[in-house]
Amino acid sequence: MTFGSLCLIIVLSTKVGNKHSKRKKQKMAITAPTVGSQFTTQASKVSGIVQEVVANKSGSFRVRLDVNGQPRWTTVK
């Protein structure tokens, strides 16, 4: 199964100071899928070729896939 440019957000926890200190969380930036690559949606497992990528203000991406000749939009967070 090919995922093309599958993007993930990984949350890292680091312990600072003594055992009573709070953990800091860091988010890593996601990478947009590239036009022409194959992409599989995570929830429904639908595969298609990326036709368009639109960046949202929130940092996620709207991705238009070509699935058997039909357009399908999905969000990559």
β partners of residue 76: 61
CB proximity list for 60: less than 8 A, separation 6 or greater: 30, 75, 76, 77
Q: Phi/psi of residue 30, each to 5°?
A: -90, 155
CA atoms within 13 A on the CB side of 66: 9
In percent, the amount of the chain with pLDDT more than 90 equals: 56
Q: What is the pTM of this model?
A: 0.62
* Calpha distance 71→3 (Å, rounded): 18
Q: Does domain 11-76 have CATH number 3.30.70?
A: no
**Domain extent listing, the chain:** 11-76
Per the document, the length of the chain is 77
Residue 6 scores a pLDDT above 50? no
pLDDT at 29: 73
N-to-C CA span, the chain: 20
